Structure 1
C-alpha cells in the first residue's frame, strides 16, 4: 500500500486512475489548480509526481479543483475548478489545458460541486452554486450550455442514467433530488 503525504496541509479533492497507463494516478487539491500524476509503483510518491499540469487560472487568488473526471476513452481529463471553469487536459500528456468550459452564470464556489460525462461522452454536466445544472456539448465548448433551473440551493451532484441517456438526476443543498428528462432539457 502506498500513502501520499503532502508537505503542506491541503485537501485532496479529486483522484482518478488513468486508462493509458495503469500505473498512473491523477490527483487534484483544494490549494491550487494543479493536477499531479503519481506513479504508484514507487514508494516515494509524496515527493515526486511524474507529471504536473500548468495552473492556467487568471484569477488573482489560488483556486482549487473540486473533482476530476476522465472520458470513457481515457484521452481527456476534465477538472472542475473553483475559478468557475472546467478545464480539459490531454490525459496522456499534462501541461496546459486543450480547452475549457465556462458560462456567465456557472459557479463552482465550493468543493462539493461535481460533474460527469454522458455515457457516450457527448455531453458534460455539472452542478453549480448558481442553483442550476449546466450541460455542455463536449465538442463545442464555445457554445453556451443548456441550463436547467429548479433547485433552490447549490446543486452539488449530477448523474446520467446508464440505460437511458435522456435521463439525468441532480441533488442539491435544498435537500431535494430531481430527475430530468430530455424533453425538459430543450425548453
Structure 2
C-alpha cells in the first residue's frame, strides 16, 4: 500500500475508551442513524451519513457491550457490564426502562416489529422483554451452551440467532418452542453475526474465517480464510457483491463476495478493530476500534487507487464542532459524562 492514495475517513471522536459495538438504523424519514457502544459506559448516537454527534445516553455504570436501534430509530437499547439492559428514547435521550439481569449483558437486539427486546450474556440465558409491558417478567430461554456473545432476530421474529464467547457455532432457536433447531458449525467462537438486509445470508466471523450461511436453509454458502484474526464482518447490503472485515491488524479489509479476493484495505485506526458495519444503503461503512474512535469510510468503486471517489472531506467530527443536535437530548459537557465511577469492563 506504499504511496497508494487511499480512503480518507470521517473520524468520529467522543468516546474515551474502546468502541466495541456499532449499529446502523434502517433509513427513516429523517435519514439513518449510527449508535455506538463503548467501555466508557456511554452509548452515543450519530447521524449515520455525516457522523455528526447527536447525543449521549447517560445512566450506565459499567462498560456497554452492545447497542441497537429499533426499526424507526425512535428507541435505542444497550447492554452493559452493570448487569442491566436499558431502553432509551432516541429523540430525547431519556432512559425509558432498565431491565435488571443477574450478570453482564453482552448482547441486545430489537425485534423487527419493535415490540420485543432480546438480551443475552454471561448468565447463558436468552431473555425476551415485552416492550409494551416493560415491568412484566421476561420470557427466558435457557440451555445456551455457553456465555452469550451475539444475538439477532430473523424470519420475521420467529427465529433467534445466538453465538457464545467460548464455544464455536451459532445456535438457531425457535421462538415458539424455545428449542435449538439448528447449529451453524464453526471451529472458533463466533464474535460477529449479522443477518443481511434482505434476509438471505448470515455473515459470521470466527477467528481467521469469515463465513456466509443461507439464512433460510442454513447451508454454508461461502467460507474465506482471512489474513489475521477478524473480530467483525459485514456484507454490503445493496448489491451483496463485497464484504468488509476488521480485527487485530488494525486494518479494514474489503473483499469480493464471489471470489474472496481482497479488493481494498484501509488503515487509520491505532488499535484492533472490534466492529465493522455497512450503512443501510451500502454507500459507506463504519469501524470501531480499541483506540476509542469511530471511522466512517466511503465505499466507492472497487478501484481503491482512485482517491476522488472516496474523499468526502478530511473532516474530523469533534464533539465541540457538532451543531446538529436533537432538541432536548440530555448531554454532558463536551459530549462526555463527566466524573462517573470507573467502568466495569466485565
TM over 0.5, shorter chain: yes
d(CA) in 1 for partners of 2:108 and 2:22? 13
Q: CA deviation at 1:141?
A: 1.8
Q: Which has the higher contact order (CA 8 A, sep 6+)?
A: 2
SS in 2 for 1:98: strand
d(CA) in 2 for partners of 1:7 and 1:70? 19
Describe the superposition over 1:151-172 as per-residue Cα deviations: whole angstroms up to 9, x where unpaired: 2320111222234x32222222
Which residues of structure 1 form unaligned runs of 5+?
Answer: none
Larger radius of gyration: 2
Structure 1 partner of 2:56: 52
Q: CA deviation at 1:7?
A: 7.7
Structure 2 partner of 1:71: 70
**Is 2:81 the partner of 1:82?**
yes
d(CA) in 1 for partners of 2:46 and 2:38? 14
Equivalent residue runs for 1:151-162 within 5 Å: 151-162=144-155
SS in 2 for 1:153: coil
Root-mean-square deviation (Å): 2.7
Structure with the larger strand share:
2
Equivalent residue runs for 1:155-170 within 5 Å: 155-163=148-156, 165-170=157-162
SS in 1 for 2:10: coil
Structure 1 partner of 2:140: 147
Contact 1:167/1:182 (8 A) holds in 2:
yes
Describe the superposition over 1:10-31 as per-residue Cα deviations: whole angstroms up to 9, x where unpaired: 2112334464643754333112
SS in 1 for 2:11: coil
Relative to structure 1, is the Cα distance of residues 166 and 149 closer, same or farther in structure 2, using a 3 angstrom cutoff?
Answer: same
Matched positions, count: 167
Structure 1 partner of 2:21: 14
d(CA) in 2 for partners of 1:7 and 1:97? 20
Structure 2 partner of 1:35: 43
Structure 1 partner of 2:91: 92
TM-score w.r.t. structure 1 length?
0.74
